[in-house]
Amino acid sequence: MTRSPAAEPNEESVYAGLVDVDGDASQWAFGAGFDDPLAGVDTTVPAGLDRTDLAAYCLMLGDDALVLAQRLAEWCSRAPELEEDVALANISLDLLGQARLLLARAAAADPRSVPELPPDSPVPAEDALALFRDPGGFRNVALAEIPNGDFAQSSLRLLLFSVWRLALLERLRASADPVLAAVAAKGVAEVAYHRDYAARWTVTLARGTAESRRRTRAGAEAVWPHAAELFAADPVELRMAGAKAGVSPEEVRPACEEVLEEVLAAADLPRPDLAAPTRVRGRAGEHTPALAALLAEMQSLAREHPRGTW
């Protein structure tokens, strides 16, 4: 990253460093001095890797992030505190960033996975995947799509999701697909923070007042039944794990159990049963009714203005 010399000396505020970097106004949307997570990464699909499986796998991990990002965005202007509002929006944007990279990878690996739009459509492939697929085409786990509930329930969902995703991403850093490895490397630091955030609130609320304890326990009852699905491997995940490009979710169960045990013991909350029979198989396109409503809201604007550019 090159910086103009004017940005270096005599900073009066930490934000002064953002002004006049490259003299580009877009810095206010994207910040300054950011690293491209795919800089220097060879984006060709490695020989021997099944492109259809790679695309399907990227859709799974991308849809998990996209759908939960949308759920977290629903907290905007509604969180209990301004600071939590900003924190949840940050987490949402982290996940949206991961989703963008993963959906773009899915489109590059297998263009047939992208919904067909008119040839002169201005919509990029990852946006077409996010905004022009119907619920049955989504491959996210149900945990990502269930409604927010109250702040306690949202914290528990984020805890379970982050514990699981962090375990997956840590192992995905060694993926045979260089793009998946780069996305995972970027995501590990992000999701580690999400996990810390959710774990702190879980313990704080569970050990807080009688009312916060009651709400946290009710949240656990609503969220825990969706835990087992996270560790039920889909054939695509198993084949990708076999090709050393993916991670079998069965493999991360002991590590997740250990982390959850630690947090939930501190919170004095019941543990989820990670080996229970799975109710919904989101990896196969099965979803709760909540997903259709979520997508209707997320996709309505883009679908109303398919030629819009943003």
Binding site for another protein (CB under 8 A): 8-18, 31-34, 81-83, 86-87, 90, 196-197, 200, 208-212
Task: Closer to another protein by CB, 196 or 258: give it.
Answer: 196
Among residues 22 and 286, whose Cβ is nearest to another protein?
22
Distance CA 43, CA 23 (A): 30
Paired tokens of 120: 């002169």
Q: How far is the CB of 202 from another protein (least distance, A)?
A: 14
Separation between Cα atoms, residue 243 and residue 250, nearest integer Å: 16
Q: What is the DSSP string of 75-109?
A: TTTTSSSHHHHHHHHHHHHHHHHHHHHHHHHHHHH
The whole-angstrom separation of Cα 240 and Cα 236 is 6
Tokens 């060709």: give the residue. 44
Closest CA to 282 of 270, 294, 272, 271: 294
In the bound state with another protein, the residue whose beta carbon lies nearer, of 149 and 208, is: 208
Contact 106, 55 (CB under 8 A): yes
Q: How far is the CB of 199 from another protein (least distance, A)?
A: 11
- Here the contacts of 111-116 (C-beta below 8 Å, separation 24 or greater) are 113/55, 113/56, 113/59
Instruction: Compare residues 187 and 272 and give the one whose CB is closer to another protein.
Output: 187
Residue (83 or 120) nearer to another protein, CB: 83
- In the complex, the smallest distance separating the C-beta of residue 7 from another protein, rounded to whole angstroms, is 10
Min. distance of Cβ 64 from another protein in angstroms? 22
- Compute the least distance from the CB of residue 298 to another protein, in Å: 23
Say how far apart CA 22 and CA 86 lie, in whole Å: 28
| Closest approach of another protein to the CB of residue 9, in Å | 5
Closer to another protein by CB, 87 or 247: give it: 87
The burial of 48, by beta-carbon neighbours within 10 Å (0-12 exposed, 13-18 middle, 19 or more buried), is given as exposed
| Distance of alpha carbon 289 from alpha carbon 115, whole angstroms | 22
CB 280 within 8 A of CB 288: yes
- Which CB, 12 or 120, lies closer to another protein? 12
* Least Cβ distance, residue 62 to another protein (angstroms): 23
